[in-house]
Chains A and B, each alone.
Chain A
């Protein structure tokens, strides 16, 4: 594998350059907040702004909630489709990719109109925002879960579990979930990032969130916007690292349980 390793490092290095240089560009700029001196003034301005904390952690809350609801909604569905309704699968897959197509502004416009009058008057509830985010993250979350399930022989596992006397709940919790943990994690990363950066839904539904906050900062400040972007990048990355750590089980990529 030694020849392979050289090439691997090369591609990684190129990737690192491409990804980090623009970040460095932003970062360098943000250090000029104090005239003539390189300083972290822009960063302290941002971090000391109470609105930063409020909006950032609000978005974190939305993101985690979206992940939970997404998992609860999509995993059983994907499992069921795989197991019992294979013919419905193309339709379901198509549906799950639809959010890609609907622009956020159209979605939120529709959501506001639909849910701002009785009997479904939930426009003020944070749940509307969370549900909207769940829809937006559906392509990624569902796809990730589905990929994970695909690598696992679902019918065999289910039969085995059932023959051991397991009920549905047990199957879900103790058979399905552990095997698709990596996939769920991957979907969760994407969902987390999406929600953290999302602007349109939060703006129109008038909920505190990080996306609108960043847009506001960018409107009237010089150095703080790039500081904000760098901070959010770093914090989101860190949050994902934590998620990965928490969700990690036995190391190794083998996804098939048992038979190998």
Chain B
């Protein structure tokens, strides 16, 4: 065989080999059991691992949460992702998230929502769920709680139902939300009597009566109680954004600030729920250089630390989770200025300061 012919055959053989031999996925192990060291056991963050495909990034994110000193995470588990067809579940991704979180010593609070296409009419959004499909959501809640029994002890039912955009762009309906909550609560307890069901969280808003965009969170919560919600949740989830006000800014019904939480608490106590805690599942400040609702980076750091301190002072606050730890990809907007860690896992200065705080420095 002449040399050029040999070379061609060798090249073809190599090409065939490369084509047929697929590189295997890198092995990502859970590693040894870890524990969070922190002076503040109420510190938490909202992770965004729903769209994080690579397992090593899931693990790395949760390692960094532990290393920062935050024992709690809120994570989003979209119904549509895990039950793409009625009765057929795919738990592979959430299993990875939950298992890595537990191995890092973290407690998972699972937000459930995001309606699959088979459970809503065409041309509706993923926040659209009508009452004829509430039982389908209940079935999913049962399946989720049963699958994660012993691993996930906290679930949040929906998100900001007092905003039209989170209610399928329909007029908000606290009474209907309570129907959903009742079904979800019963199914959750059926799967695991120990699971803690969180209602809400409600979006802090001053929307006036009849506003098409949504309903004032204080008014919405009272209507929930009037509709019997008190029997169907164990903990109230709450969102507490500070915008430009420091965390100690006093609460008032006509003001959106961090301490609006105390007004939600008053509604709970007035309705006989003084024994139930609140978990803040989203909160924080933004440090975009130009957004009119942002603060300076130094303020953001100071305010966030102070918010964690205030959570310790409030005996009714079980945990405080800051939005947001890291995104899988840049948001390319002011939203990026909510994060503590960059897309490429570089800790921002605020992460380092929160870590120092958690270490008692």
Question: Are A and B subunits of one complex?
Answer: no
* Residues of B bordering A, CB below 8 Å: none
* Residues of A bordering B, CB below 8 Å: none
